[in-house]
Amino acid sequence: MTESANWEEYRGSVVIPSQTDRRGLTVLLNKVDGAATVRFDEPVSGAAEWQGSQVWIVERLKYHEVQFSTTNLPVETVEIVWKINAAKFDDTAAGVVAVRPNDMRISGEKGFILNRAGG
């Protein structure tokens, strides 16, 4: 899955909405195949890796606009939307992680900055 040469790796940290701790993470983007994966340095809700679903990637003039969601993070049935703008001309990506409305009453959104690994 992530063995393809088309994967780009971005490193940084994020605070998951409803939590207070900043967590190290790696976001893997495959713009060719339209795929995304989030890997946390330490497990969150029992897992360290989360596959993106509903991946949407649009090429803009200066960046790639990427959007995908993960489910059961930070708790079961909660869906989080990840929106990332990955710059074409430098090694940075800016993003926001936002919780979709849910029955658990978990809400909020947090911004983050990532740097392309090896860049």
19-52 residue pLDDT tens: 999 999 999 999 999 999 999 999 998 999 999 9
Distances in whole angstroms, Cα of residue 16 to Cα of each of 6, 25, 75, 91, 108: 27, 11, 11, 23, 9
Q: Which class in CATH covers the domain with range 7-116?
A: mainly beta
64: closest CA among 74, 72, 56? Answer: 56
Domain positions in the chain are: 7-116
pLDDT at position 1, please? 46
Residues 90-111: pLDDT tens digits? 999 999 999 999 999 999 999 9
